[in-house]
Chains A and B, each alone.
Chain A
Amino acid sequence: GQQVMQIPQYQHVQEGEDFTTYCNSSTTLSNIQWYKQRPGGHPVFLIQLVKSGEVKKQKRLTFQFGEAKKNSSLHITATQTTDVGTYFCAGYNTNAGKSTFGDGTTLTVKP
């Protein structure tokens, strides 16, 4: 079945440093979504990427979808303490008809 791998599992950064999490799928995806889950909270949708090679930005967050539509990344520039949480990617495959979540990357930011 479809597998979505996400690395790293944990990332500890100093406030102001950059952060990147990577997502790789075993199959070609129709789209990929990113979610953020704050400690004690539930996942909240951030963005969806659909097109091959697509790049989208949300303030300090940059999302990329690979040319082959099998990988994606989320990059945060100059992290802040408000960025702490777990970031999940979710790859949607039309044939499977469902999204498969990666295991998430948990980001901690030291002030």
Chain B
Amino acid sequence: KAGVTQTPRYLIKTRGQQVTLSCSPISGHRSVSWYQQTPGQGLQFLFEYFSETQRNKGNFPGRFSGRQFSNSRSEMNVSTLELGDSALYLCASSDDRQGVNEQFFGPGTRLTVL
């Protein structure tokens, strides 16, 4: 099976702009989670989508949003970018059907906000 893919891999934006990141999960996985990773801050949970519904949400401002499509592909959007949004954004998919929530991470999108 192909792994989790994320596009684009790198992105440079300026403050105030908005950005959309895409994630394609492993075939058959219905759960997709998004994380923000910054140096020294570990992995901060953004949200999780399951069967096109947001199932969980972290403590991020409303500028961060996401959605999931019927084919389980997911997008996350950040509006009105701030310098502090510069980070590696990781998505992870899992197969909830087996009751094991092992997460398979994609390579991430590195966002730089200037």
Residues of chain A having any CB pair with chain B under 8 Å: 1, 31, 33, 35, 41-45, 48, 88, 90, 92, 96-104
Contacts and interface: CB of A to CB of B under 8 A. Distances in A.
Contact of B103 (A31, A45, A102): A45
Nearest to B91: A42
28 contacts: A1-B59, A31-B101, A33-B102, A35-B103, A35-B105, A41-B107, A42-B105, A42-B106, A42-B107, A42-B108, A43-B43, A43-B103, A43-B105, A45-B103, A45-B104, A48-B100, A88-B42, A88-B43, A97-B55, A97-B56, A98-B56, A99-B101, A101-B35, A101-B42, A101-B43, A101-B45, A103-B41, A103-B42
Interface residues of B, number: 22
A35 B73 CA distance: 23
A43 B107 CA distance: 9
Contact of B42 (A31, A99, A102): A102
For the complex of A and B, 6 pairs with smallest distance between CB atoms: A103-B42, A101-B43, A42-B105, A98-B56, A45-B102, A43-B105
Per DSSP, are chain B's interface residues mostly helix, strand or loop, or mixed? Answer: strand
A45 B93 CA distance: 12
Nearest to B107: A42
B48 interface: yes
Interface of B: 33, 35, 40-43, 45, 48, 55-56, 59, 90, 92, 100-108
Nearest to A103: B42
A96 B33 CA distance: 14
